[in-house]
Amino acid sequence: MPSVRVVSGLPTIPLKGGPHGALIPIPENVVHNYGHGGGGITMSWGTGHLAVEEALQTGQSEFAVLGCGAVGLATARLLQKKGFQPTIYAKDLPPRTTSNVAPASWSPSASADPDKRTPIKGQLTAVLPQPEVDYIFVGGGLYMMPRKDAILLGGTHERDEWSMEPSPTEMQRVMTGHMEFFGKMA
């Protein structure tokens, strides 16, 4: 079996009812725009734009951006372009952000009632790069994306899962699903 590295991620800030409670006091004016069902990098500039437009309607002149993944950095940069000096607060810096290991794929996303939001944990399995694998595969709830440093295998969506620990069960499901798919081509 190839060498494997597994990573998992959650939104930067615990949602209501999270295991760590609130990390910071929540002010009256909060623009919440994170958790994009695996599409944060793809949607970062658009969602950052929406967050900035909402934030500007508050009349405030100082802004805090929570998280320094793709959405947080895009939002902070858009605030700078509007003449503001946002402050970024982050639990971790790259390469320890969820965005740092995201495959950046286009995919549909669903939104839910804000009072019923729960985390959806995603997990990637990275196998050693193979020069002959220069294509993307998406199908059957799985995806494969080659990069220079690894081939990313994904397709996990664990609802209401707060753990940041990679799941061996999900890793095995993803690996087996890919082996079965490609085994049918032989």
Domain range list for the chain: 4-183
pLDDT for residue 68 = 78
Which alpha helices (DSSP H) does 40-183 contain, by range? 40-56, 70-81, 168-183
Rounded alpha-carbon distances, angstroms, from residue 39 to 98, 147, 183: 11, 18, 29
CB of 159 closer than 8 Å to CB of 33: no
pLDDT for residue 61 = 84
Tell me the pTM.
Answer: 0.49
16 — pLDDT class (breaks 50, 70, 90): very low
Least confident of 41-50, 76-85, 100-109, 126-135: 100-109
Please tell me which residue, 171 or 104, carries the higher pLDDT value. 171
- HSE toward the beta carbon, residue 62, CA cutoff 13 A: 2
CB of 40 closer than 8 Å to CB of 61: no
Model pLDDT for residues 72-120, shown as the tens digit of each residue: 888 889 999 999 888 887 777 777 776 766 665 544 444 455 566 667 7
